[in-house]
Amino acid sequence: MKKTTLVFLFSLVALGAFASGLLRFQARYIKQLRQIPINRCGVTEYENMLNIQNPQRAAERAAYDQMIANKAAAYSSNPSVQGGTITIPVVVHIVWNTAGQNITDNQVLSQIQVLNEDYSRTNADASNTPSYFQGVAANTDIQFCLAQTDPNGNPTTGIERRQISSNVVFNMNNNVKNYNTDGLNAWDVTRYFNIWVCNLTPGLLGYAEFPTSSPSNTFGVVIGFPYFGSNFTSYGSGYSLSSAYNRGRTTTHEIGHCFNLIHIWGDDGSGCNGTDQCNDTPNQADEHYGCPSTIQISCSNSPNGDMYQNYMDYTDDACMNMFTLNQKSRMLSVLNSSPYNALQSSSACNNAAGNDAGISAVLNPNGTACSTTFNPVVTIKNFGTNPLTSATINYRIDAGPIQVYNWTGNLATNATQNVTLNSMTSATGTHTFSAYTLNPNGGTDANAGNDQAQSTYTVSSGSVALPYSEGFESTTFPSNGITINNPDNAVTWSRTTTAASTGTASAFMDNFDYNANGQVDEMVLPALNLNSATNPVITFQLAYKLFTDPNTSPNYSDTLKVLISTDCGVTWTTLFSKSGAALTTTTPNYGSGEFTPGSNDWRWEIIPLNQFQFSGGAIIKFRHTTDFENNLYIDDINIHEATDVEENTSLFDVDVYPNPASDNVNINVQVEKQHDLTIRLINPLGQIVSEEIFRNSSGGTFMLDVADEAPGVYFAEIIAGNRRVMRKIMIQH
């Protein structure tokens, strides 16, 4: 049920010159709200939206709510089983465009202080609770802290900020909770309580998500920036907040919903049949606005009337001051039940450990090793607050004997150093290398969870002769000497049978479900002997579609690169790099659904390798960088002689003359029926030098002007429908 009123009173508080510009912006914004209907809380509309998106949610919510009601009844009858104080780690995601939306750290701290006071009933205005409600007013035994360690174990302030390029107004569609829609992704909702602060729909103060047995990655609260924080805390005053909502009670209210509290009047539309499932809150007909000064009687609840002082009503912040014992039981029932009980067991509230070292990456061995003997290279990181001056690094291959390296140095918090360890030897084949730290600064490591890193690598018995092909038809993945680099141990390259250019399978990056940005995953081919072919090329089939419109600003895209190394991975040369519309293979090139390619959604890519043809041990890898967009597929990787390259056999007739050429090259094409004919000239770096498209062509002779091209080996690519041929051209002047 949406309730509206008008905001009448706003004020400015003079600050120093440094903050005056920020306050002026906030004040102007708030003044614009004066005649905008206020929606104190959007939880009802938001839950209706979720129920439409997921028809099963209503039943899931009902079952969960009944479980909580049963547990809360047991808690109420025996309060001693509720347990002690629960401290919940909080991360505040601030999404802003203009300076006024980028609220200060002190404003965030003021909100945390309000939450801790309101939920422990140490709020200064607790004395305003009427005497007839004092007996049921509760210290909920719930406290909050800004997280001190992030999901990767790194020290954090618990405040995450993102400036976006346009002044987006967010609504209840959860865009603010998604990096790809100008927001910020949630941290693990079972370990952190997530709060988003943003430029919310004018008049909407905030909204929350009720709990279920399986929380989504949108669980948490969203608060409009003029309503987050307080002017009445030890962290200072003077924030230009809405005067009716300037004590931080909007966040107190919304978090109550996340812990399964219902609006105190039961959301029954001005009737007396609704319930908030709490026996110690009087039945009342409707919500209250403003700040009533007398007893408000409804639903035959005399003599004391409605409990409009409750945080789950709609009164102004100054008139809210209490939770009840039954509300406490409902909230603790959530926080003491799976999966939300993990919030109270999270170590994220602990101050970052003084002595905390770890291995953050394995640089070598990784992918393909060119020799059975190598020197491992790892990255040591100081996760602690004390300077790191010494640590023990243990490392080994597979389950073999542990080697020990005593490291010394001087690393500040979050600083890293690449460490070359003593040489090791392993047999040919695929292996796992692992390394971990002990004894930081000669003491105990406070967080063992970030100590270890590992990599999978393959020692080649020798470089593989061409031709090389990989169609991912084997049920074993990776196979054929391929290794996978997956630094974050999350989503990475995998084999799928949902789509294929040929056969039944392809390699696949699940960007649609990969809730990350900027993570790199690599598929590394075995070392190849390019000496065995004249003018070698690599060809592969690609399928990709964007999720968001590439013409919007900002725009997003996953990225695919193909790289080659001829010095066993010490240095790499980029052969191919595409993102955005250039990477897509479909029309239209974006769409909101999960992408699964059809037979016409694949594109054949070719990369000349002639400048590397004398390399006896070339390593080629496909590097993917995610931007949480849409799925990407690779199939039919082939590395072979480029005398004539055809995508499949029995295509159409192509003749190229003169060859070698100096000024012009004639391309004679004969096709069986009319097609849109594309003719491209590709240089030795794989770049398209020229492209001509002939609509509804029956073929003929077409001339390419090559007079201005540098001498070397080029390729003519001819595409007719879904068929294509490539021919090598030698340009000489």
Look up the CATH number of the domain holding residue 713. 2.60.40.3080
The pLDDT value recorded for residue 6 is 25
Closest CA to 699 of 682, 721, 681: 721
Given 443, 460, 477, the domain boundary residue is: 460
Are 174 and 222 in a shared domain?
Answer: yes
The pLDDT value recorded for residue 148 is 85
Task: Give the model's confidence band at 349: pLDDT under 50 very low, under 70 low, under 90 confident, else very high.
Answer: confident
Residue for token pair 């009342």: 284
Between these two residues, 136 and 105, which has the higher pLDDT value?
A: 136
pLDDT > 70: percent of the chain: 90
Q: Which two tokens stand for residue 120?
A: 């422990």
Q: Which two tokens stand for residue 433?
A: 């290398």
The pLDDT value recorded for residue 335 is 94
CA distance 412 to 48: 49
Q: Among the listed ranges 33-37, 102-106, 176-180, which one has the minimum average pLDDT value? A: 33-37
Are 454 and 466 in a shared domain?
Answer: no
Residue 5, classified by CB atoms within 10 Å of its CB into exposed (0-12), middle (13-18) or buried (19+), is middle
362 in a domain, yes or no?
Answer: yes
Residues 657, 692 contacting (CB under 8 angstroms): no
Domain total in the chain: 4
> Active-site residue 254, yes or no?
yes
Task: Give the model's confidence band at 446: pLDDT under 50 very low, under 70 low, under 90 confident, else very high.
Answer: confident
CA distance 108 to 88: 15
Residue 541 has pLDDT above 70, yes or no: yes
Are 402 and 468 in a shared domain?
Answer: no
Q: What is the pTM of this model?
A: 0.54
Task: Centre a 10 Å sphere on the Cβ of residue 271 and count the other Cβ atoms it contains.
Answer: 12
Return left, alpha or beta for 23; rule: phi > 0 is left, psi -120 to 50 is alpha, else beta: alpha
CA distance 631 to 75: 47
pLDDT tens digits, 483-521: 898 877 778 999 999 999 988 999 999 988 776 667 899
- DSSP classification of residue 189: T
266 in a domain, yes or no?
Answer: yes
Are 262 and 203 in a shared domain?
Answer: yes
84 in a domain, yes or no?
Answer: yes
8 in a domain, yes or no?
Answer: no
Q: Which two tokens stand for residue 706?
A: 């090559």
Are 264 and 238 in a shared domain?
Answer: yes
The pLDDT value recorded for residue 36 is 56
Ordered alpha helix ranges (H), 121-205:
131-134
Residues 227, 60 contacting (CB under 8 angstroms): no
Rounded to 5 degrees, what are φ and ψ at 556? Answer: -135, 155
pLDDT tens digits, 693-704: 888 888 889 988
- DSSP classification of residue 87: E
Residue 3 has pLDDT above 80, yes or no: no
Closest CA to 729 of 677, 655, 669, 671: 655
Q: Among the listed ranges 118-127, 274-283, 714-723, which one has the minimum average pLDDT value? A: 714-723
The pLDDT value recorded for residue 21 is 40
Closest CA to 240 of 86, 42, 27: 27
Are 118 and 162 in a shared domain?
Answer: yes
Rounded to 5 degrees, what are φ and ψ at 639? Answer: -125, 115
Are 601 and 710 in a shared domain?
Answer: no
Between these two residues, 251 and 449, which has the higher pLDDT value?
A: 251
Alpha-carbon 69 to chain mean position: 34
CA distance 337 to 68: 9
Are 82 and 31 in a shared domain?
Answer: yes
Residue 14 has pLDDT above 60, yes or no: no
The pLDDT value recorded for residue 119 is 96
CA distance 508 to 681: 30
pLDDT > 90: percent of the chain: 50
- Pairing state between β 520-524 and 506-509: unpaired
Residues 72, 324 contacting (CB under 8 angstroms): no
DSSP labels for 208-223? E----SS--TT-SEEE
Q: Which two tokens stand for residue 108?
A: 């965030």
Q: Which residue segment(s) compose the domain that 663 sits in?
A: 644-731
497 in a domain, yes or no?
Answer: yes
Q: Among the listed ranges 280-294, 359-373, 498-512, which one has the minimum average pLDDT value? A: 359-373
The pLDDT value recorded for residue 330 is 95
Q: Domain holding 577: CATH number? A: 2.60.120.200
Closest CA to 94 of 229, 237, 190, 232: 229
Given 642, 661, 686, the domain boundary residue is: 642
Q: Which two tokens stand for residue 160?
A: 């995450």
Given the residues 47, 160, 254, 709, the one annotated as active site: 254
Give the residue-averaged pLDDT of 377-400: 92
Residue 83, classed as helix, strand or coil, is: coil
Q: Which two tokens stand for residue 274?
A: 């609704």
CA distance 600 to 92: 45
Residues 493, 509 contacting (CB under 8 angstroms): yes
Residue 655, classed as helix, strand or coil, is: strand
Residue for token pair 């029954």: 268
**To 10 degrees, what angle do helices 43-53 and 57-77 make?**
130
Are 698 and 630 in a shared domain?
Answer: no
Q: Domain holding 420: CATH number? A: 2.60.40.10
Give the residue-averaged pLDDT of 269-291: 91
5 in a domain, yes or no?
Answer: no
CA distance 639 to 537: 6
Residues 610, 456 contacting (CB under 8 angstroms): no
Residues shown for the chain: 733
Are 51 and 136 in a shared domain?
Answer: yes
Given 348, 380, 401, the domain boundary residue is: 348
Give the residue-averaged pLDDT of 470-493: 88
Are 147 and 245 in a shared domain?
Answer: yes
Give the residue-averaged pLDDT of 44-48: 93
538 in a domain, yes or no?
Answer: yes
Q: 681 forms bridges with which residues in the sheet?
A: 690, 716
CA distance 594 to 195: 28
The pLDDT value recorded for residue 240 is 64
Residues 575, 534 contacting (CB under 8 angstroms): no
Q: Domain holding 262: CATH number? A: 3.40.390.10
How far lies 572's CA from each of 522, 606, 620, 717, 719, in Å? 13, 19, 9, 27, 31
Q: 145 forms bridges with which residues in the sheet?
A: 89
CA distance 463 to 98: 56
Rounded to 5 degrees, what are φ and ψ at 468? Answer: -120, 135
9 in a domain, yes or no?
Answer: no
- DSSP classification of residue 294: S
Are 266 and 383 in a shared domain?
Answer: no
Give the residue-averaged pLDDT of 396-405: 95
Closest CA to 358 of 384, 336, 327: 384
- Pairing state between β 536-544 and 603-608: antiparallel
pLDDT tens digits, 91-135: 999 999 988 899 988 899 899 999 999 999 999 999 999 999 999
One-letter amino acid at 574 equals T
